[in-house]
Amino acid sequence: MVEEFDSPLAPLTTMRVGGPAHRLVTATTIDELVDAVRETDDAGEPLLVIGGGSNLVIADEGFAGTVVRVATSGVTRESQDSCGGAYVRVAAGEVWDDFVARAVAEGWSGVEALSGIPGSAGATPVQNVGAYGQEVAQTIASVRTWDREAQAVRTFAASECGFSYRHSLFKASSRYVVLDVAFQLVVGDLSAPIGYADLATGLGVAQGERVPLGEAREAVLEQRRRRGMVLDAADHDTWSCGSFFTNPMLSVAAFGRLEERVRERLGADAAPPRFPGDGDALKSSAAWLIDKAGFTKGFGAAGEAGLSGRASLSTKHTLAITNRGEATAYDIRALARVVRDGVREAFGVTLVNEPVFVGHDL
């Protein structure tokens, strides 16, 4: 376990903004992770647990407490057979895309569409990470956590995790610190059915078809690269938290009001994207709403709307807010507010930020 003081946090996040931590502890084993969290709680200090930092916007003032960085590692195949599949336990600090690459190489199907997503394995159940027709809730068997209130290890079966669109029990509360995640994966050479239209087109297959795992992974990575969603230090479009806003989930009545606003603004034949959502809800596209509200790719870079120009929408994808090299957390927040408020004014829909704001809010 390594302990540092007044340590900068910006380099530990993919957005690359934020001030220092009063105290930074790096835990490389589960015992170190539990000890660091328990010690901080016993001292009554503020606690922030971070993994890959891909979903955080930390305030410029930093964090006046203890930051525990999860740097545990390990992928263990606990069982595998042709009927039950592969039961694989992944340490919370394991780099997520490294695990996906391992799964593809081993012939474990079910997470290949989640290739290229930055961050750590332990963060995936918190956000119920998803992309290109897959989400981790479909393959998670259990999540082992440290219960900060009970001061004990607690394991949650998938059915107990409260998974929904980009949400879970673990996101709703800071009570539980993820220690490791167990996945139940299909053994085979073919991907899960391709559930995303653009991905199917890129692969030259119909939706619902399966392709070799390696081909599915490469196709996903290509889709993500075109959108600036694969980390590259030389490409400021990737200095982001990925998708900044979640796709809005609307009741049938609220979706009807959205359709009316869209026709009023864009013409009688215009219609917002419409997809099945959770339960009776309908889901639309945050990227589409942002674009049609007037916030096109690269918005903000020229200093529109009184912005600094140090942050902008990605030049490749309207759903990502990016650090153009010298942005502050204030710059990121200011741009996010302009976009959120502009979409609400145009269409009556309030977008919800996907990344977590630490020490400030949107």
Find the angle CA(123)-CA(283)-CA(332) to the nearest 5 degrees: 50
Asked about 7 being catalytic, the answer comes back as: no
Alpha helices in 136-271 (DSSP H): 169-172, 197-203, 213-226, 252-266
At residue 357, φ and ψ (nearest 5 deg) are -90, 130
Distance CA 231, CA 238 (A): 5
Q: Considering 7, 168, 243, 312, which one is annotated as catalytic?
A: 243
Asked about 173 being catalytic, the answer comes back as: no
Q: Considering 106, 215, 259, 354, which one is annotated as catalytic?
A: 354
What's the number of CA atoms in the CB half-sphere (13 Å) around residue 186? 13
- Is residue 245 helix, strand or coil? strand
Secondary structure (DSSP) of 102-124? HHHHHTEESSGGGTT--SBGGGH
Distance CA 252, CA 268 (A): 20
At residue 90, φ and ψ (nearest 5 deg) are -125, 125
Asked about 243 being catalytic, the answer comes back as: yes
How far are the Cα atoms of 52, 73, 165 from residue 170, in angstroms, in the given order? Answer: 17, 20, 13
Residue 94 C-alpha from the chain's centroid: 15
Looking at the DSSP assignment, which residues form a beta bridge with residue 212? 190
Q: Considering 16, 23, 144, 166, which one is annotated as catalytic?
A: 166
Catalytic residues: 166, 243, 354
